Amino acid sequence: MNEVVTPMRNATNTGSSKGFDEVLVDVRNLKMYFPITEGVFIPKVVAQVKAVNDVSFKIFRGETLGIVGESGCGKTTTGRCILQLEKPTAGEIIYGGDDITKYNSKEMIEVRKKIQVIFQDPYSSLNPRMKVGEIIAEPMSVHKIITDPVERRKRVLYLLNVCGLASAFADRYPHEMSGGQRQRVGIARALAMNPEFIICDEAVSALDVSIQAQVINLLEDLRDEFNLTYMFISHDLSVVRHICHRVAVMYLGNLVELADGDELFDNPMHPYTRLLLNAVPIPDPDVEKQRAHEIIQGEIPSPINPPSGCVFHPRCPAAVDGCNKNIPKLREVKPGHWVACSEV
């Protein structure tokens, strides 16, 4: 399959989450702290990395929720907690009416059939010693979804076709494919279990810009065709604006703003969100040259010892007395627009 430059189609339903009524995933007060120990024979916990700190949000069936923020803000860790690849320190993750953080490994088997993940790097997320057909068929074999090898092969070829790959790719190894083709295999593998919820962890960041558009268009088509729900983790704001219905902004393990896509990009309220959007270059060089740039000052504080009060206050241009003492609560300042800032 030859890969060509494909522009991203105009988003059809990214401006509002209205119409999505059924809550599929409900994350409540999620905390994920990683202990730092010293000592060899008797390890002693001396500190904690607060990767995710008291985060709450809901994901509605059929929507795409984007999670954005600087590297190290807790985006991927939040996704791993939902997948139960990490056991949260505290909080609840309600899926199907139950708190899956209390599930054991056997109970999680049924949940894992419904929740899948597309990893960031297609070069390392596929087994180089397995053929593409075997990679896609493996989940069906492990979970005993399709036991007949002939039927399983038919399913593999169908998934390849759905993801835009020819049947011949089933007998190739990952190293014989391009990055975009490998990522399509990763998507096909995620679809093998007929999931209802897929976490896309930087699913297009490792691809060329021209190939990103193809994969984004494919994800949108699959969402509509199979009624999928996505949690889309990314640092590329232009991609997030295109594909996501709602966007959540994280900073140093905290959720600082959550709103419908167009609302957040057109009317950012949290100072960090405004600075984050200001850093995105405008494609027109004349406009880009004339606009005023506002740079985020300072370095990201350590998650081992985050600042008191609002975690963004040491770098915030709008900080006032009290920001270093009072922890702002995430509150709804207008319908559907949530902000964690006492000055908004």
Per-residue pLDDT tens digits for 117-133:
999 888 888 999 999 99
Angle CA 1–184–230, to nearest 5: 145
Residue type for position 163: C
What confidence score (pLDDT) does residue 18 get? Answer: 58
Q: Find the largest Cα–Cα distance for the chain.
A: 69
CA separation, residue 6 to residues 35, 91, 92 (Å): 45, 42, 41
CA separation, residue 344 to residues 67, 172, 176, 244, 323 (Å): 21, 55, 53, 24, 12
Structure tokens at 291: 């606009």
DSSP 134: H
In this structure, the number of other CB atoms found within 10 A of the CB of residue 215 comes to 26
The better pLDDT of the pair 18, 275 is held by: 275
Per-residue pLDDT tens digits for 205-260:
878 888 888 999 999 999 999 999 999 999 888 899 989 999 999 999 999 999 99
Q: Nearest-CA neighbor of 271 among 287, 295, 238, 304?
A: 295
Treating both helix axes as pointing N-terminal to C-terminal, what angle do 132-142 and 149-162 enclose, rounded to 10 degrees?
A: 120
Q: Nearest-CA neighbor of 308 among 56, 92, 50, 99?
A: 50
pLDDT at 2 over 60: no
Domains of the chain, residue spans: 23-339
Per-residue pLDDT tens digits for 3-46:
444 555 554 433 345 568 899 999 999 999 999 998 888 889 88
CA separation, residue 84 to residues 23, 57, 112, 275 (Å): 19, 17, 9, 32
Residue type for position 5: V
Between CA 26 and CA 110 the distance in angstroms is 18
pLDDT at 321 over 50: yes
Classify domain 23-339 at the CATH class level: alpha beta
337-339 and 229-233 strand pairing? unpaired
Alpha helices for the chain (secondary structure H): 75-83, 105-114, 132-142, 149-162, 179-191, 209-226, 237-243, 261-266, 271-278, 285-290
